[in-house]
Structure 1
Amino acid sequence: MSQKSKASRYLIKILLGGVSVIIAEFLLPGIYLEDAATGFILAAVIILINLTLKPLFILLTLPLTLVTFGLFLLVINGLVILFCDWLIPGFTVDGFWWALLFALVLSVLNSLFGNSLNPEDG
């Protein structure tokens, strides 16, 4: 696959992810975005974290994930959202449960759009 098509695929993922973030923020009162541009930045950061840090988190928590039959992955997703809250100015989450719910809603919206914020997916 050429670099140009890879780059355009990432750009499409960021755009669709940004739209999903904006919709999820509209639906959830515990999530705040300063503006639409922050939503697209958040989508890009989530993609970057899913590519770099999340596999390490999954590996380190594998025993706990197996004991909980994979449900601990939801906690990891919530923690990724809280990390983004700390990292990105203009994005605020009211707490862990809102982060967890935001991650779930975001996942559902991305599934409906046929998009995944996991860059390894085709």
Structure 2
Amino acid sequence: MLGSAWRFAVRTLAGAAALWVVILLVDGISLSLPTTPIYGTGEYDQVLTFLGVAAIIVILNSTVKPVLKLLGLPLTIVTLGLFSLVINAVIFLLAEAISNALGLGLSIETFSAAFIGAIVMAIVNWILGPITGILGARGD
């Protein structure tokens, strides 16, 4: 049980770092801070907002994404795997809707911004993969 929580924490930290890179590089994706402080005086609100949105993305990737992959399997086969990029963009848009419902303020202006943002996030997570794999295994 503790190992699962540790792996979730490691994935969330990596996802927050990837989200930070996406917001820096992709026009049309932004993260706004809530109007009322999340914790205390609000000095940690930016970090907590990144971690909250990253946690939403990690949860969506482990629950909703497998279902979408199964439903989109025929299109993924026909497009030689390129439809999986569309699924990543849809997960990113779902994360925007959930984060806005929770008051975390992820904003994605267009589907193309979500598409490019999902690609950048996947690349950053791929680069961080060896680190998260080592740290995730430590929790076992």
TM-score range normalised by the length of the shorter chain: 0.7 to 0.9
SS in structure 1 opposite 2:129?
coil
Which structure would you say has the larger Rg? 2
Unpaired stretches in structure 1, ≥5 consecutive residues: none
Question: How far has the Cα of 1:115 moved from its partner?
Answer: 6.2
Alignment check: 8 A CA contact 1:22 1:36 kept: no
Deviation at residue 42 of structure 1 after TM alignment = 1.6
Question: CA shift at 1:116, angstroms?
Answer: 9.5
1:37 deviates by: 2.4
Of 84, 96, 112, the residue aligned with 2:127 is 112
1:6 lines up with 2:4 in the alignment: yes
The AA in structure 1 aligned to 2:124 is L
Partner of residue 37, structure 1:
48
Query: How far apart in 2 are the matches of 1:21 and 1:36?
Result: 11
User: In the alignment, which residue of structure 2 is the partner of 1:15?
Assistant: 13
TM-score by length of 1: 0.86
- In structure 2, the CA distance between the partners of 1:43 and 1:115, relative to structure 1 (3 Å rule), is farther
Two-structure CA RMSD over aligned residues (Å): 2.0
Partner secondary structure for residue 113 of structure 1: helix
Partner of 1:64: 75
Give the Cα separation in 2 of the matches to 1:56 and 1:116. 27
Counterparts of 1:116 and 1:17 in 2: how far apart (Å)?
12
Secondary structure of 2:20 counterpart: helix
Distance in structure 2 (CA, Å) of the matches to 1:33 and 1:72: 27
Structure 1 Cα separation of the partners of residues 131 and 124 of structure 2: 9
Q: Which has the higher contact order (CA 8 A, sep 6+)?
A: 2
Amino acid at match of 1:60: L
Kindly state the Cα deviation for residue 47 of structure 1 after the two structures are TM-superposed.
1.2
Q: How big is the shift at 1:71?
A: 0.5
The Cα of 1:61 is off from its aligned counterpart by 1.4
Per the alignment, residue 51 of structure 1 pairs with: 62
- In the alignment, which of 96, 104, 115 is matched to residue 111 of structure 2? 96
Aligned-pair identity in percent equals 33
Q: Please give the alpha-carbon distance, in whole angstroms, between the structure 1 residues aligned to 2:84 and 2:114.
A: 13
Q: Post-superposition shift, 1:6? A: 2.2
Please give the TM-score of this superposition, normalised by the length of structure 2. Answer: 0.76
Q: Matched residues in 1 for 2:61 and 2:16: separation?
A: 15
